Amino acid sequence: MDSEGLDLVFQPKFNCARGTVCGVEVLARWPGASAPWQRPDCFIRLAEREGLAPELDLHVLKKALRQLARLPAQTRRALKTVSINVSAVSAQDARFLQSVKGLLSSRPHPKLMFELTETAPIHQLSVVRKGFEALSHYGIDLSLDDFLCGHATLNLLTALPVREIKIDKRDVARLGTPAGYGRVAGLIDLARQGEISVTAEGVETREQWQALRALGCDSAQGFWLSRPLPLAEVVTLIGQLH
């Protein structure tokens, strides 16, 4: 895989109470590939199997920081927190963690959140914990992506310095049913008890957005709020909203 060829899109994240943009999630796209392989779901798993996930995640981080650095300072501040997806494979890779520290200690950077994705199991929890404790000194917060939908368990919530959980779009899609609503309410309660913030993903309807606001969810992403966009279009959107 030629990681130089990866494109980045940025999905705005909205504060549920205010309706304003409170961050962006960086999502990789592989433009040269045939249709299904353009989706990260496909190529991240391939990268994980081939041992390329740390390189890919580092490439995305570098490229995102480069793009963000070109923005005027005021615009950069308006983007608030920048979320980067980090494979569990990368989070267990000492060289990846070292490279991130090297990258961030050498230049100013935005407030970062690393979303630990559950596409691979975590065998070395202590490596991940020490890694994220070290990264917290560089202003990087840890988010658990697709919370309780993949390999990750409740155990991670207490074993790692978690600042955010992300409710997956599969759970958001079931908000309209009593059981689904109850599950999301439970996840939000759980986070509250740990003083962890909650972001819901995959909000596609006004009803879902309103339900999440009523439940006290902190922030949300989804096609109904904004699709993932090139960075310049996110800047335009923020200019229109704020």
Footprint on this chain of ligand G (rule: CB under 6 A): 11, 14, 19, 27-28, 39-41, 44, 57, 60, 85-87, 117, 145-146, 169, 201-204, 206, 221-226, 228, 241
Q: Of 114 and 196, which has the nearer Cβ to ligand G? A: 114
Nearest distance, CB of residue 166 and Na ion, angstroms: 6
Min separation Cβ 114 and ligand G, Å: 10
Quote the least distance from Cβ 203 to Na ion, whole Å.
Answer: 14
User: 158, exposed or middle or buried, with CB in 10 Å at 0-12, 13-18, 19+?
Assistant: exposed
Q: Does 145 bind Na ion (CB under 5 A)?
A: yes
User: 157 or 165, CB closer to ligand G?
Assistant: 165
Total number of residues binding Mn ion (CB under 5 A)? 4
Binding mask 132-161 for Mn ion (x = CB under 5 A): -------------xx---------------
Name the residue whose CB lies closest to Mn ion. Answer: 146
- Residue 219 binding result from Na ion, Mn ion, ligand G, none, given CB thresholds of 5 to 8 Å by partner type: none
Q: How far apart are CA 57 and CA 84, in angstroms?
A: 8
119 binds Na ion, rule: CB under 5 A = no
Stretch that binds Mn ion, among 74-82, 119-127, 173-181, 200-208 (CB under 5 A): 200-208
Question: In the set 48, 57, 141, 201, which binds Mn ion (CB under 5 A)?
Answer: 201
Site of interaction with Na ion (CB under 5 A): 85, 115, 145
- Sites of contact with Mn ion (CB under 5 A): 145-146, 168, 201
